[in-house]
Amino acid sequence: MTQRVIGVAGFKNSGKTTLVERLVTELTGRGYRVSTIKHAHHSFDIDHEGRDSFRHRAAGAAQVAVVSRHRWAVISELRDDAEPSLDEMLAKLDPCDLVIVEGYKRDGHDKIEVRNLENTNPNLSDEDETIVAVAANGEVSDCPVPVYDRDNIFALADFICGRTGLVEVP
C-alpha cells in the first residue's frame, strides 16, 4: 500500500504548527493513526548536555536509542552525511493511516498552503502545482485551489480524508 501523505506548507508565522497539531487531534479523534514529520531549517536537539544519551553521542556513537515504558527515540548523527530525503524519512515510520508533513515546501507531495493574511509573503499556490488547498485566516479571492478557513479544522480534515483516500468521496 502506498503511504498517504499530506503536507502543510507556508512561510514563517503562518500557523503551520498549530494547524498540524489541530489536524492530528481531529483525525486521531476520528480513529485514524496519524504520524507527522517536521522539517527543521535549523539545528535542533532532542537531547541535552549532561544526559547519558548526549554523552553517548558526544563520544561518537552514530545512533543512540533512548527507551522507556512510555516512549522511545532513536537519535541519528549525520556527521558529514547528507540530510535524509522526505522519502527516506517516510520509509522509517511505522505503518499508519496518514502522515502529515510540516515543511518540505519544495517536495512533490500534495500540500495545504497555510496563509496568515497579516503577513506579506507570496502565495505558494500561484506557482506550485502541489498546493491542493489553502487554509487562511481570512477571505482569499482568485485562488486556483479550494480555500478553507484556517480554524475550520473539521472541514480541512474532511478535505484531507477525501484527497488522500482515507474515505471515498461520492
Q: Walk along the chain (170 residues) and give the pLDDT tens digit of each residue.
A: 478 999 999 999 999 999 999 999 999 999 999 999 999 866 666 777 888 888 898 888 888 989 999 988 888 888 888 989 999 999 999 999 999 999 898 899 999 999 999 998 989 998 999 999 999 999 998 899 999 999 999 999 999 999 999 987 66
pLDDT reported for residue 14:
94
pLDDT reported for residue 169:
66
Residue among 135, 164, 114, 153 nearest 24 (CA): 153
What the block records as the C-alpha cell of 111 is 500540500
pLDDT reported for residue 69:
95
Give the list of residues 6+ apart from residue 131 with CB closer than 8 angstroms, or none: 9, 111, 112, 113, 124, 125, 145
Are 11 and 119 in contact by the 8 Å Cβ rule? The answer is: yes
Q: What distance in Å separates the CA atoms of residue 170 and residue 158, rounded to the nearest whole number?
A: 13
Q: Could you tell me the pTM of the whole model?
A: 0.90
Gyration radius of the chain over CA positions:
18
